[in-house]
Amino acid sequence: MQKLTDKAVEIDRSPMTFSERAYLPAIAKGLGTTIGHIFKKKATVRYPEQKRPFSPVFRGLHILNRDENGAERCTACGLCALACPAEAITMEAAERKPGEENLYREEKYAAKYEINMLRCIFCGYCEEACPKDAVYLTETVMPTNYNREAFIYKKEDLLIANPKNKESK
């Protein structure tokens, strides 16, 4: 009969030998493979007691930075939101009032700033786009949650603590 493809494999239908019928050589071969793995370097770790080191290029949770005087660096320019391929960043700009120079570094600041971590792909484009060194991706792994709302990180969640407040304590 003509073959439909050249991938057909001939099946050996010759009768099994005594050792094949006893299965013992096959069992010994299988055990040999198992025992061989005992002496190999383990591919797994005992998490959470043991943790693997992060890759040097790991990108985790974002922070919004302050300057050396504790003022917010973000000027709500929107470049991070523009660079974000996942459209995860939204913000609302506001104008700084006289007397607020210690709070906001520039004349404009982000009254609202949100990152939807369910959309974020941790590409780091927002960090690269920021002209004010305001947004950074840290080595903190995103905590899990059952509530979708908890993944919308607001400005209060992202902004680092004011170092000036620590000094005054």
- Rounded CA-CA distance 134/65 in Å is 5
Q: Contact between 75 and ligand SF4 (CB under 6 A)? A: yes
Q: Contact between 77 and ligand SF4 (CB under 6 A)? A: yes
> Please, are residues 73 and 67 in contact by the beta-carbon 8 Å criterion?
yes
**Interface map 135-164 toward ligand SF4 (x if CB under 6 A):** x-----------------------------
Q: Contact between 61 and ligand SF4 (CB under 6 A)? A: no
* Nearest partner of 67 among 119, 17, 1, 134, judged by Cα: 134
Residues numbered 95 to 134 that lie near ligand SF4 (CB under 6 A) are 110, 115, 120-126, 129-130, 132, 134
Under DSSP, the state recorded for 50 is S
Residue in 61, 66, 70, 84 binding ligand SF4, rule: CB under 6 A: 84
- Rounded CA-CA distance 156/150 in Å is 13
Under DSSP, the state recorded for 66 is B
Chain contacts with ligand SF4 (rule: CB under 6 A): 74-80, 83-86, 88-89, 91, 110, 115, 120-126, 129-130, 132, 134-135
